[in-house]
Structure 1
Amino acid sequence: MIIIKTEEEIEKMKLAGKILVKVHKELRNFIKSGISTMDIDNFCEKIILENGAKPEQKGYMGYPFATCTSVNDEICHGFPSDKVILKDGDLVTVDMVVNLDGWLADSAWSYLVGDVSDDVKRLYDVTKKSLYDAIAIVKPGTRLGEIGEVIQKTVEKEGFSVVKDFVGHGIGSNMHEDPQVLHYKTKIKGPRLQKGMVFTIEPMINMGEYKMKMDSNGWTSRTLDGSISCQFEHTLAVTDDGVEIITEQD
């Protein structure tokens, strides 16, 4: 069942979103060659707590960290580690959920470490573009399935592939709610969007094929062919005539 949020509830989620965006913006200057992904996790958790919020992912179904830090061939849910040291040319995605007074915001941004190859930069740009191309059609009356169709068209035109094993999702006072948001085209058009729906769009795009494999930790997924993967994610609220990005970046 899709839970329609009131304007007051969305305002509370926007406050959580402001904290999340603050963390991501500060990461822009923090992430560099030589730091570990555990350094990233500690940095994010500290800012979240200092702002009176808490990292919702920590403890969720036993997940032990405040963030997911996925490097290069890791698609998502990468475990922060003191042993994973970023180096020039890496791509790292940092995904986190902020809980402020019981209301959540969820967003993953990818970061380029130092000088990256042209192919990695193009993957980064196309992944981000696919998210914003999809956001551009979000408004009352749009069919949910149209989102994935837009993403797949943007991505495949550039020779990349869309991961099919993970989806966007409704969010509010719970991290995962209905509806599921596919990032690729299917025959199922899904419900029409309406004001008050709040959900994430979070395409994960691979430089090679879309297939994945799971690490032994039961959380981290990575590309089957070892190619680089990239992700961007925003939490969105459907408005009277369009959409508001709760986790907007600039």
Structure 2
Amino acid sequence: MAVTIKSEREIELMREAGRLLAKTHVELEKALHAGMTTKEVDRICEEIIRSYGCIPSFLNYNGFPASVCVSVNDEVVHGIPTRSRVIHEGDIVSLDTGLIYKGYQSDAARTYGVGEISEEAAKLIEVTKQSFFEGIKYARPGYHINDIGTAVQKYCEQFGFGVVRDLVGHGIGTEMHEAPEIPNFDTGRRGIRLRPGMTLAIEPMVNIGRFDVAWTDDDWTVVTEDGSLSAHYENTILITEGEPEILSL
């Protein structure tokens, strides 16, 4: 699949998709509390997205049964919301969701602490978020895909954290997953050169322990192999002539 360069009209639609997704995350953060089930988070998320006249892009994507991935503690990504999973004080919860506005996608993830969390967990969330911003310093014309991932990895590893290798970021547009793949680590290959008009979902997934992950029996939920906590931070961005524009903030 070739990398698509978006037209001015497409960029406008993606800006609006990103703005509405950013609002969705603000509302979800307000709603998140100890005692609720992950299924409740999903119900709220779907209601918010549809209230904007948008379509939840995750719902039924490759058979995924919900509008948001709710991943708790050692769950890295793709946690399926259920009525039996209750969120507790001290948990860290990653919410990954996306929406479609007039045929164009946006994709973003945040990790939140519920109530009082450990210092270590708070540090993980902060480093994961900052690693995104370290990475997008290189999301400019003339740099290559690998420059982004190398910066993410370098930043996280100085804190002793493991950057997940089995999952990567991606291009985005009319499809949720478009070319190119965007690893969060140094692959040793430069990857494509970045050009204005590219829209990318950059998404560091970072573990307190080792980078190894495993899939659970539901074939969706990815967990840390060593049982350590994991955090996720993602935004949809636009490559411009200068600084990248973050569409989902």
TM-score range, shorter chain: over 0.9
The answer (yes or no) to whether the contact 2:173–2:199 under 8 Å persists in 1 is yes
Deviation (angstroms), 1:137? 2.1
Following the alignment from structure 2 to structure 1, what is the Cα–Cα distance between the partners of residues 21 and 11?
15
Aligned to 1:234: 235
For 2:152, give the aligned amino acid: I
Deviation (angstroms), 1:242? 2.1
Q: Which runs of 5+ in 2 are unaligned?
A: none
Following the alignment from structure 2 to structure 1, what is the Cα–Cα distance between the partners of residues 86 and 137?
36
Following the alignment from structure 1 to structure 2, what is the Cα–Cα distance between the partners of residues 150 and 238?
17
Q: How does 1:85-96 map to 2 (within 5 A)?
A: 85-96=86-97
Deviations 1:5-47 (A, max 9, x none): 1121011011111111111001222111111111110001001
Aligned to 1:209: 210
Aligned to 2:27: 26
- The TM-score, its normalising length taken from structure 1, stands at 0.98
Deviation (angstroms), 1:49? 0.4
For 1:20, give the aligned amino acid: L
Aligned to 1:120: 121
The answer (yes or no) to whether the contact 2:137–2:148 under 8 Å persists in 1 is no
Following the alignment from structure 2 to structure 1, what is the Cα–Cα distance between the partners of residues 59 and 88?
26
Aligned length: 248
Following the alignment from structure 2 to structure 1, what is the Cα–Cα distance between the partners of residues 4 and 28?
32
Deviations 1:131-169 (A, max 9, x none): 011112211111110111100110000010000000100
Following the alignment from structure 1 to structure 2, what is the Cα–Cα distance between the partners of residues 131 and 140?
18
Following the alignment from structure 1 to structure 2, what is the Cα–Cα distance between the partners of residues 178 and 213?
25
RMSD: 0.7
The answer (yes or no) to whether the contact 1:140–1:242 under 8 Å persists in 2 is no
Segment of structure 1 superposing worse, 81-90 or 68-77: 81-90
Following the alignment from structure 1 to structure 2, what is the Cα–Cα distance between the partners of residues 81 and 136?
38
Aligned to 2:149: 148
Q: How does 1:38-187 map to 2 (within 5 A)?
A: 38-187=39-188
For 1:218, give the aligned amino acid: D
For 1:100, give the aligned amino acid: Y
Deviation (angstroms), 1:190? 1.1
Name the SS for the 1:124 alignment partner. Answer: helix
- The TM-score, its normalising length taken from structure 2, stands at 0.98
Deviation (angstroms), 1:101? 1.1
Deviation (angstroms), 1:79? 0.4
